[in-house]
Structure 1
Amino acid sequence: MNGNVIVGQSGGPTSVINSSLAGVFKTAKDRGANKVYGMIHGIKGLLDRQYVELSDKLNTTMAIDLLKRTPSSYLGSCRYKLPEIADSRETYEKIFAILDELEIGYFLYIGGNDSMDTIKKLSDYAKETGSAIKFMGVPKTIDNDLAITDHTPGFGSAAKFIAATMKEIIRDGLVYDYPTITVVEIMGRNAGWLTSAAALAKSDDCEGVDLIYLPEKPFDVEKFIKKIRNLSKTGRSIVVAVSEGIKTADGKFVFELAEHVEFVDAFGHKQMSGTAKFLANKITAVLGLKARAIELSTLQRCAAHMTSRTDITEAYNVGGAAIKAAFEGETGKVVVLKRVSDDPYMCITELADVGKIANVEKKVPLEWITDDDYVAQDLIHYIHPLIQAELSPIMVDGLPRHLKVN
């Protein structure tokens, strides 16, 4: 083994991303790494020479355990898109000069599609210039839209939060003896994995949501209103789960049907917001029924009080597997999860070429979306093992204790 380790976090946070960071750090130290650095605010922070030596922060077993239970990105994150190598060689020269100064031999990045794009570009540049630095991707995204891997760490805990929250919303609505309609907006730009988790609310103690709309299928506003009209005749509360990114047949986002302020990030992604509000207002305007919109927004990302033990364990394991593979000479790869058994549930880690994952979105298979605006049992069966068991936060003075970089 030659060189120090540096690790960063990128993209949207999750409730278990720090468990992956803990897995990288603990495994690296156990295998003899001298220094393990953490990038503050990802690759953008590294360009500004912002980093910490993690051994100074994670110097006790308690600190590492607390890190695993701390939601969001301990090191901070970024949404910075590296330019193409040919367009800005000076950017890569600067990054590699900093890495050389720190005597880095292993570079790990924890993130989703766009983060894997960073790993691909850096590993391509290293290969082109003959650099010996190893680059590895560690999967993370609540959206569950990474290719090849069975699922992504972060998704299971977000799904658990969504299913539990939907049960509570359903209970709330059923107290009345007249129909009310609740439209719940759940994250998901192009892939409906998170919204499909709302189906898990249906059980022997819960009626479940009435309708589920995912971005994989075109959304028809008029058919939706007709369906709500028919459901309202039952005289009871109605709960609908919608992905923030549902689109009409002509490709227009539903939230764009209302007046909104448009924001586009560095990756060209439009800010998603207002789908549920538009639909709730439409229901009231057309049907004269009381309708409300609930936007889960960032609440579903970092609800560490609802963390799945399965999820946090797998997040730790992929972090450890990534640094182990790097130490063994692998580069330009991403650790992926492979489901080898459903009953009992079991996943193992494997490696995949980052080029087959970067900028590729995995969507919900159309056969898992039913024609009656719901999801198939196969999809529920797929998600169910990922929400199992709990890991309680470390509580201090009645509230969860978190670890932060000072």
Structure 2
Amino acid sequence: MNAPAHFSHAGDFPGLRTRDGKPWHYLDTAATAQKPRIVIEAMARALGEDYATVHRGVYSRSAEMTLAYEAARRTVAAFVGGREDEIVFTRGATEAINLVAQSYPKKARVLLSTLEHHSNIVPWQLAGWQVDVCPLTKDGRIDLDAAQAMLTEEHEMVALAHVSNVLGSELDVARAAELAHGAGAKLLVDGCQAVPRLSVDAAALGCDFYVFSAHKLYGPTGIGALWGRADLLGAMPPYQGGGSMIDKVTFARTTYAPPPQRFEAGTPAITEAIGFASACDYVSDIGLASIESHERELVAKLRETLRKRNDVTLFGPEESAGIVSFALDGVHPHDLGTILDEQDVAIRAGHHCAQPLMEHLGVPATARASFGLYSDVDDIAALIDGIERTKKIFA
């Protein structure tokens, strides 16, 4: 089986080969995406001949790097339909959620869902919010009818995943926003699994905060973004203190810079911001519509193949976004993952930082195959061959 000739980008990714030069069937993109050469090269230049600190230097290279850093902010903002003053660079989506949970002026009740990643559960608990949990539909989607019935005037926030990192199910963000606003609450959307494969315009969708990480978007680790409506960011106090986020400092009193600088204490992740923007450009040049179509085709092929087996349980909706979670009868997902690794097939096996969802599914863990724009049907074939070998071992 060969990938369609019109959609072949694996050659852009040096990480898709083993150390002895064989193809590596990487099916763990939902955890972190491989990096294209163009991103690696952009970061190498930023860390090499272009390198200098930003915002504080009066010499020319510092000024040039400051311009590049802020241009990266504009690129990332545009990628989700925002303005540069609406994008806060964070260490990742996890820090972005922590920022909102800690800095939002009124901490009351927050409505989450059963399928949320731990990073969209624990920060609210740590910040003292009272957590309510919306159930799922039978096919693994967030039940917005139930959410509507649960929302009260005591809810200040609704925080939901755009795409589940386990089930691949998609949220109707526009409806979620309408329901949240109807109850007087704000909507935060975890977009980590959405932005690599769906076209996102955060403001048009109606949400109030949108968070995502670079490393799932073919960019570097250690950086992500919080998109927030400017008026909401302006009403929020700083999450951390230090250099760069201040207006004036005395020992008696400190005043703060306006957003987004208010939330970016310390020397920023300069090189990572350059890589983040490069990844956004790379994905935009290929086209999110093409990426989504390609991944949906692969999901359909894998689900169809697995459905023909009588020893596999599939989880989540048929129309999932880039992700297929399953269980192989009589084989723990960790054992399956270990045996597949011996055949140069990489999947994720475990609870996927979604223990409440595992409890809901009635399993301790699942095996998860997740696709990227570099994936093809050869990866599916290698996975199926590995499953067959595993079953023989456990027979």
TM-score (normalizing by structure 1): 0.29
| TM-score, length of structure 2 as denominator length | 0.29
